[in-house]
Amino acid sequence: MDSKVPLKQAKTAAPVTTKGLAELDVRTGMQAAALKQAVTDHLRYSIGRLQVVTTPHDYYYALALAVRDRMQQRWINTSQTYFDLNRKIVCYLSAEFLMGPHLGNNLLNLGIEQEARTALAELGQDLDTVLECEEEPGLGNGGLGRLAACYLDSLATLQRPAIGYGIRYEFGIFDQEIHDGWQTEITDKWLRYGNPWEIAKPEVVYYVNWGGHTEHYRDVAGNDRIRWVPYRVVKGTAYDTPIQGYDVNNCNTLRLWSAEAVESFNFQAFNIGDYYQAVDDKVISETVTKVLYPNDEPQIGKRLRLGQQYFFVSCSLQDMLHILDLVGVPIENFAQRYAVQLNDTHPSIGVAELMRLLVDERQLDWDKAWAITVQTFGYTNHTLLPEALETWPLSMFQALLPRHLEIIYEINRYFLDEVRARFPGDDARVARMSLIGEEGEKCVRMAHLATVGSHAINGVAALHSDLLKASVLKDFYEMWPERFGNKTNGVTPRRFLALANPGLRALLNEALGEQWPVDLEQLHQLEAQADDVAFRREWRAVKEANKKRLADYIRAHTGIELDPSWLFDIQVKRIHEYKRQHLNVLHIVTLYRRLKENPALKIPPRAFIFGGKAAPGYFMAKRIIKLINAVAETINTDPDVNMCMKVAFVPNFNVQNAQLIYPAANLSEQISTAGKEASGTGNMKFMLNGALTIGTLDGANVEIREEVGAENFFLFGLTAEEVERIKREGHRPADYVASNPELRAVLELINSGHFSRGNAEVFRPVVDNLIYSDPFLVLADYATYVACQERVSAAWQDKENWTRMSILNTARSGKFSSDRAIREYCDEIWNVQAVTVKL
C-alpha cells in the first residue's frame, strides 16, 4: 500500500476551476479552488514573490497563511464564545511546547488535506515536498514539551476552553549534527524565515521585575504593605498561535511570551558617545527568551533559567488577571474562572507570584489570597530523579526575586505550623517537608512549593504515581492523601497515527469508519481482524511501505542502506543513562561477537535504529552517542556481519522525523531502569502504530503490558522493588562481569579500541562507569535482556503471528490517547466543561 495515501481517503476533491471563483470566499473557502486562489494571492500580496523565483518554501509559506486564514474566524469565535458564556478556562503553564510542524496537522484537523493537495498540484507543486519545507519550532527538549503539545490538541478537539502559556524562545533546542560519530550542537534558527502561524500582539504586554529590594509602607487605609523596588524591569510581549481542534470549530490559543526592553534605545547614552550603553538594556532584556534551557551548569546559566521561568509565569498570571478585569469578574472568583496547571516544577514559582499579585497588587488579605491560590493550581510531577526536582540556591533566589523569597518564607511558616500540629514532635519530618532546604547550601525546593500550593498533585503513570507517594513526596501524601492522584499520559492519535501513518489511516478508515481519531477505543474492533489472513497481509503491506519510507530517509541523511524486509528495532528518545541506550549497544556487540566467532550462525536480519539528543553538558550521554556510531561504523562495513545486522543513528531526532520513525518500527525499545521513567510517551506512539515492545516494568510500560496482554509484550529485567533492594544491599556491578563470560568479553572488546580505531581511551569512561558504578543497573539486567532479545528473534520468524501481535498492539492502544487523559484532568481536577463553538 502506498505510504502517501491521501489522509482523507473517503473524500476526493473536485478539480480546480476558475469558474465561479468570484462566488468563493478566498479567505475562508474550504474548496480546492478557493485554496488555490488564496495561495496565489498570498504569494503576490503577502510574500511579494515573482513567479520565476518562487520556491517550494514560498508555496509552504503562502499555503500556511491561507490555512491560518481559515482558522482565524474559528479562533475569534472560540474566544468570543468562551467569554460570552463566562466559562472556566484551563491555563496550561509549561516551559516547553514541542508542537512539531503545524501545516500538516492543521490541514488534517480542518479536513482539507486533499483539497490542498489538489490546489498545489494545479500550481505545479507537490504537497509532500511543500510540507517538508516547514521549519520545526524547537520549543521543547523532549517528552515534557511534546506532552504539552498533545494536550493542547486534545483540549481543542474535546472543545474544552484552554490557553497554553509558555516562552517564545528565539533559538530552540539545538539542531544535532553527527561528525565523526560525535554530537555537534548547531543553533536552531527556527525563526530565520519568519513564522506564518503566530500573530504578534504588541498591545498585550506586561512588565516583569527583577532584583532590587523590598520596602514597607502603609496604604491609605493604614494597612501595612510591602512594595517591591526592582533593579531591572523587562517587558513581555505576547505572540499567539491558533490550536485547531479536529473536526470541530474550536480553535484554542497558545500564547508565548517574548522578552523585550522597556526602552530599546537610550538616546542620552548615544548622544554622549556611549554606543554600547545605548542598547545595553535591549541586549540584557532580550537574553531572557533568547534560547531554550541555557546550560545551567555555571551559576549564570542557573540564574538565567530561573529568570526565564519567572518571566513567563508572571506574564501569564498578569494576563489572566487582565482578562478577568476585561470581563468584569471579581478577583475573588479567580479560581472559578481559571484552572492553572503546572507542567512539572518549572512554572512552580507561580504559587508565590500569584500570592504577590493578589496580596501586593490587588491588596487581598493573606488568607483569602492563599485560599484562591491553592484552589487555582494543580501540579503534575514528571520525575522521580532527585536531581530533576528543581532547587535554587537561596542567595541567587534572593538576589533575583527578593519579594518572592519573603512570600515563600511566610508560606513556609504557616505550612510548617500545620505540619507540627499534625505530627507533633517529628522535627525530622518538618525538616524534610520545609520549602527551604537546610542541608549544605540553603536552597528553595520548588517541588515542595508546587505541592503545598496546589489542590491536586498527580503523577503521569500508575507506577510513577505510586512511587511518588512512597518516595519523593511521601511526607506530603501522608499529610494530604486526598490531593494525590494519577493521570497516565497520552498521545494524540491525530498527529501520531492519522498524520504520521496515512497508509494505516486508510486501512483503519476502511475497517472502522472515520470516527476512530476522536474515539480511539474503537480500535478494539480490530481484534476481530487479527485472525483474518487477508487483513494481516494488508497490515504488513502498510508496515513495509512505512519501513521503505524510513529507509529512504536514513539513506539520504546518513548514507546507510537498510533493507525494509529486516526487523526494524528502534530506540529513539533523549539520550540519558537511565534510558539505557548503552544496554541496547551491549546486546548489539554481543550479536556481533557471536557472528564473528561462529560464521555459520544464523540470526534473523535486524536493523538497529537509534535517535535522540544529549544535553550539551552531559559527558556520558554524548559518549554513548559516539559509542553507537562507532559500533555502527564497524558493523556496517564488515561483510562478515552486515548481511544480517546493521546499525543507524538518525541525526536530529524531532517531531518531523519521528512521524517517519514510529510507523516504521517492528520493535520498540523501552528499556529504562525500573522506577526511573515517569511514564514515557514514545512507548505509546510505537504501540499505536503496531510496534511490539521490549521493555522493563517501568513507567507506562506496566499499563501497556496490561492492556495488550503479557503474551504480546517482551518483558525482561528487574522490577522497581528489586532495583531498590539491590541498591539497599549494596550494588556490586563487577560481580555480574565476573559471573558472565560473554558480558566480560563484550566489555573488553569495547574497551580494547576495537570500535574506536585502536584508541582504547575513547570508551574507557563508559566501561569504567558500568564496572565500578553502574548507577542504572545496566549490567544487572544484561543477561535477561539478551535472553529476551532471543525470544524476539524467534517470534519475528513467524510472520503471521508477529503480524497478529502487531494488530493487537494497535487494537489495544485506545487507553493511551491524550483525549482520555484530558477528559480525566477536566472532570477530576480542573472542572472544565465542553463548549460548542458555532461559525
What cell was used for 461? 503513570
- Sign of the Cα torsion 101, 104, 107, 110 reads negative
For 236, 302, 512, 590, 671, the CA distances from 717, given in Å and listed in that order, are 49, 37, 37, 17, 9
Q: Write down the H helix ranges in 177-298.
A: 267-271, 275-278, 280-286
Instruction: Count Cβ atoms below 10 Å from residue 512 Cβ, excluding itself.
Output: 16
Give the length of the chain: 839
Yes or no: say if 386 and 436 are a contact pair by the CB < 8 Å rule.
no
User: Could you confirm whether 685 is annotated as catalytic?
Assistant: yes
For 126, 283, 578, the CA distances from 701, given in Å and listed in that order, are 39, 46, 15
User: Could you confirm whether 622 is annotated as catalytic?
Assistant: no
Tell me which of 117, 160, 448, 579 is the catalytic residue: 579
Tell me which of 337, 574, 646, 676 is the catalytic residue: 574
Strand 377-380 relative to strand 338-343, pairing: parallel
User: Could you confirm whether 579 is annotated as catalytic?
Assistant: yes
Tell me which of 382, 494, 613, 646 is the catalytic residue: 382
User: Could you confirm whether 382 is annotated as catalytic?
Assistant: yes
Q: Which of 190, 230, 235 is nearest to 213 (CA)?
A: 230
User: Could you confirm whether 573 is annotated as catalytic?
Assistant: yes
Q: Which residues pair with 486 in a beta bridge?
A: 459
The Cα–Cα gap between 396 and 412 comes to 19
AA identity, residue 532: D
Q: Which of 133, 132, 150, 142 is nearest to 174 (CA)?
A: 142
Residue with cell 473557502: 29
Contacts by 612-615, CB closer than 8 A, 24 or more apart: 612/571, 612/572, 612/573, 612/574, 612/575, 612/581, 612/653, 613/142, 613/173, 613/174, 613/176, 613/183, 613/574, 613/575, 613/652, 613/653, 614/183, 614/574, 614/575, 614/576
What cell was used for 80? 468570543
User: Could you confirm whether 681 is annotated as catalytic?
Assistant: yes
Instruction: Count Cβ atoms below 10 Å from residue 669 Cβ, excluding itself.
Output: 30
Tell me which of 255, 356, 573, 622 is the catalytic residue: 573
* DSSP type of residue 828: I
Strand 199-210 relative to strand 182-186, pairing: unpaired
Tell me which of 445, 582, 623, 685 is the catalytic residue: 685
Residues designated catalytic: 382, 573-574, 579, 681, 685
